[in-house]
């Protein structure tokens, strides 16, 4: 018992919310997810950066929605019944990220997570935290805080 608990503390289990984008599965730390919303009309904000889809009214609070596909360098697609807006907290801000669908919450041991290849020079390569095989598919784990640069988070805050 002692051995297993010690192993547990050395190898923590984290929960990840998985979502899909362009037929690939991505995971984000559940502690950063506040809620998941069905797609709702997003009001565009004139002059906003290209990665911002617009804003929504979430129970009286204005939440900026990020175009996740654009951020990940993927082609845009149409909104479907499965489209979701995941409300996350990252860099002390609450923002929404639009995804193709949200699947489930998975438990991953830290040791199961493999590092991503350290070869990309693109900004977007920096927010891949790692990859992991789960339930027969490869999950790409995203580090939400690094999804934007400091300047971009600041820009978002002032929309």
| Residues in touch with another protein (CB under 8 A) | 20, 24-25, 35-38, 40-41, 43-46, 54-60, 62, 72-74, 82, 84-85, 87, 101-104, 114, 116-128, 131, 133, 135-138, 140
Q: Which is nearer to another protein, 27 or 54 (CB)?
A: 54
CB of 63 to another protein, least distance (A): 8
The answer to whether 27 touches 141, Cβ cutoff 8 Å, is yes
Q: Which is nearer to another protein, 9 or 118 (CB)?
A: 118
Q: Which is nearer to another protein, 91 or 126 (CB)?
A: 126
CB of 77 to another protein, least distance (A): 14
CB of 66 to another protein, least distance (A): 14
Q: What is the CA radius of gyration of the chain?
A: 16
The encoded tokens of residue 25 equal 């599965």
From start to end of the chain, where are the E strands?
13-21, 24-29, 33-38, 52-58, 61-66, 84-90, 93-99, 101-109, 128-134, 137-142
Using CA atoms, how far apart are residues 26 and 102, in angstroms rounded to an integer? 9
CB of 59 to another protein, least distance (A): 6
Q: Which is nearer to another protein, 15 or 57 (CB)?
A: 57
The answer to whether 149 touches 33, Cβ cutoff 8 Å, is no
């Amino acid at each position: 018992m002692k051995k297993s608990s010690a192993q547990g503390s050395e190898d923590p289990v984290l929960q990840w919310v998985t979502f899909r984008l362009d037929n690939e599965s991505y995971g984000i730390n559940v502690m950063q997810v506040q809620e998941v919303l069905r797609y709702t009309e997003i009001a565009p904000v004139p002059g906003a950066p290209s990665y911002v889809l617009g804003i929504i009214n979430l129970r009286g609070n204005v939440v900026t929605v990020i175009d996740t596909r654009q951020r990940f360098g993927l082609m845009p697609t149409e909104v479907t019944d499965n489209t979701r807006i995941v409300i996350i907290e990252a860099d002390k801000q609450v923002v929404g990220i639009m995804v193709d669908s949200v699947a489930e919450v998975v438990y991953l041991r830290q040791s199961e997570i493999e590092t991503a290849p350290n070869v990309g020079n693109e900004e977007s390569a920096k927010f891949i935290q790692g990859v992991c095989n789960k339930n027969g598919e490869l999950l790409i784990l995203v580090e939400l805080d690094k999804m934007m640069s400091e300047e971009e988070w600041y820009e978002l805050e002032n929309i």
